[in-house]
Structure 1
């Protein structure tokens, strides 16, 4: 028995096979991830009307495991990430506009939802604060699905979204497939005016003090405010008690003085 080696897999073929035999190979590979290793691979050999099928022993990693792996990588990165209800499938990320573009110095809160079929189905991405861009809906902040699907691959992970996809989307908008027709028209007819409008939106909606708070930050601030209110109430209460005590002391002194005076009169 002879073996043909492809990667780490060995497929055997009939004895006596020489280089003169026609070898037809069809390989179907889905989602070869460097993080999780190769997924299910079917290799079909057609040799002299004989078909030999090989299925790798590696099982395809579940989407759930892939979601956990990708989100953990994002959480361990330098990005500010806030999970929604501790869910790995919905979270917010603070994103900074790419340098040398009109979006530079802008900060956006990005909402991300991962479908159950991730990474075979692309994530849903939306801007929570306003942005002026042909492929992003101004009202909802949704990124054009066609643009995502044209670019998305199961090879990508969440870091690719924020380090590559979104920066490239802002740097190279596609006015031929717009969600914001005004932005697309302005970009095609008057690029300088488009750049000025983008910068105007950045200054109005995407500065650090204009970014919507991450979920959880409001709760922390409320807790801090609550603690401050409680401390103020305690301080006021202590002050009142102190005042009450001093009033009582003055009254006693007055009574004592009155008694002494009465004795002198007697």
Structure 2
């Protein structure tokens, strides 16, 4: 890996480690790690979006797997949900994310903080049923938005809890006790 790319990976991952996100590196590598991600709590969506009164992903906790290619930041990271989520733009089985800003229009101006503070919250707030990875979720959202919201809430309560997120990433029980902000000292060797 080229020195500037390696430096950028280290800078971006260190910023993420020093943020409020819980980050667990895989095998001490800054190129593969998990981030605990909480669903955005806002109860508002675009006024033209047909939905129920409550926000269906509120309270959800997901373990996000991130892999940074050697060419990062010139090539986008690979992002995947480890525990289940019912969303038109997220494959239910693999957890792959269909998001243009990550998959097609990625820019070196973006960093890891952008993904967790802007891109993923926007994806959850504003699902795009016209570009689905999950056809069932897209069809339900377009035809029966209240039923879609109910199914999202069901998935959140069943699969998007702290315990489900921990289990999805193969986290050890003694690591479960550490709910504080991660630092280099809390690197996990067993999340592979």
Query: Is residue 134 of structure 2 the alignment partner of residue 192 of structure 1?
Result: no
> In 1, Cα distance between the equivalents of 2:141 and 2:15?
36
Give the aligned partner of residue 171 of structure 1. Answer: 125
Root-mean-square deviation over aligned CA pairs: 2.0
> In 2, Cα distance between the equivalents of 1:189 and 1:176?
12
Indicate the structure with greater strand content.
1
SS at 2:164's partner residue? coil
Contact 2:101 2:119 in 1 (8 A): no
Correspondence 1:201-220 to 2 at 5 A: 201-213=155-167, 217-218=171-172, 220=174
Among 105, 110, 116, which residue is 2:59 paired with?
Answer: 105
Query: Is residue 18 of structure 2 the alignment partner of residue 76 of structure 1?
Result: yes
> In 2, Cα distance between the equivalents of 1:151 and 1:121?
10
SS at 1:64's partner residue? helix
Superposed displacement of residue 212, structure 1 = 2.6
Cα distance per residue 1:187-208 (max 9 Å; x no partner): 1111111111100000110122
Query: Is residue 36 of structure 2 the alignment partner of residue 94 of structure 1?
Result: yes
Give the aligned partner of residue 83 of structure 2. Answer: 129
> In 2, Cα distance between the equivalents of 1:78 and 1:93?
10
Superposed displacement of residue 62, structure 1 = 1.4
In structure 2, relative to structure 1, the CA distance for the partners of 1:107 and 1:151 (3 Å cut) is farther
Among 53, 64, 81, which residue is 2:6 paired with?
Answer: 64
- Give the unaligned 5+ runs of structure 2: 44-54, 176-192
> In 2, Cα distance between the equivalents of 1:216 and 1:131?
18
Higher relative contact order at CA 8 Å, sep ≥6: structure 1 or structure 2?
A: 2
Superposed displacement of residue 175, structure 1 = 1.1
Give the aligned partner of residue 144 of structure 1. Answer: 98
Aligned length: 162
Contact 1:84 1:215 in 2 (8 A): no
Cα distance per residue 1:45-76 (max 9 Å; x no partner): xxxxxxxxxxxxxxx97111100000000000
SS at 2:162's partner residue? coil
